[in-house]
Each structure stands twice: as structure tokens, then as C-alpha cells.
Structure 1
Amino acid sequence: MAATVSERVRTRRDNLRAAGLRPIQIWVPDTRRPGFAEECARQSEVIRQNAAVEKEDMDFMEKLIEDEWE
């Protein structure tokens, strides 16, 4: 007779535990939630706006390092 779904799941989990693994639960953003795409766009824009400032900062620090090594 074929194993039930719960028996197959139990066997699979037992095998994974025997391999040294353990189950964990991970919560991720709900991409179906209203406003999700808009929030992604907003955060992307913030990153885009800050990228130029960060590049200027990195260029400045690299110049300082170059001057120090010369």
C-alpha cells in the first residue's frame, strides 16, 4: 500500500534532519499586497538618487588613498 502524504512528508523531514539540516520559517514581503510595487519603485528611486552622492564619496576616499600611497 502506498504511503500517505503525511508519512512521505515525515520521512522526507526525518531524512533531512539525519543529514544535519533543520527546518526554519522565513517571512518575506507579500508581493501581492496593494502598494508593494509603488514601495519598490520609491525605494529604488531613493537608491538611484543616493548613488551619485555615494560615488562622489567613494571617488574622494579613493583619491585620499592614492595620495597617501604616493
Structure 2
Amino acid sequence: MRSSTQPKKTSQQKVKEHRERLRAQGLRPVQFWLPDVNSKEFKEEAHRESLAIANSPTEADDQAFIDSISDFDDSVDETR
């Protein structure tokens, strides 16, 4: 427990110490920037691309290829 004579740690100090503990465990921070799937622009582009694929003359072959390389576990009961 912290004595009343010691100043409280700032958020910045707490974060620094937390990161130091993680680094001591052999971890390192990594930052990922991903598309905002909730943005109007993303949704419009995803829709445009899905329509282009669905209307492609090679759609059936394309889907067969995706199915062939996908890792499906047929033993999973999908009714759960």
C-alpha cells in the first residue's frame, strides 16, 4: 500500500512501468493501422468490390479456388 507521503503516480508513469514490465518479459509493442470498417467509404468500396466479384464471368471458378484453399473444419457443429 502506498504511504500518504509518497506522491501518486501519473498515468504516464504507470504506462511507462507497465511497458517496461512487458519488455522485461520479452515482448515489444507493435502498432497496426487497419481500415475503419464502420466508415461510409469502406462500406461503399467493400460493396463495390463484392458486386464486381459476384458479377464476374469467372465467379464460380474464383469461389471454387477460395473454397479449396480455405481451412474448413467440417466436424464443427454449426447449429450451436
Q: Same fold (TM over 0.5)?
A: yes
Q: Which residue of 2 aligns with 1:40?
A: 46
Runs of 4+ in 1 over 6 A off after TM superposition: none
Q: TM-score, normalised by structure 2?
A: 0.53
User: Which digits, 9 at most, give the CA deviation of each residue in 1:6-53, with x for residues without a partner?
Assistant: 110001100110111111221111345442211011222344445412
Q: Which residue of 2 aligns with 1:52?
A: 60
Q: TM-score, normalised by structure 1?
A: 0.59
**Unaligned residue ranges in structure 1 (runs of 5+):** 59-70
**Unaligned residue ranges in structure 2 (runs of 5+):** 1-6, 68-80
Number of equivalences? 57
Q: Which residue of 2 aligns with 1:3?
A: 9
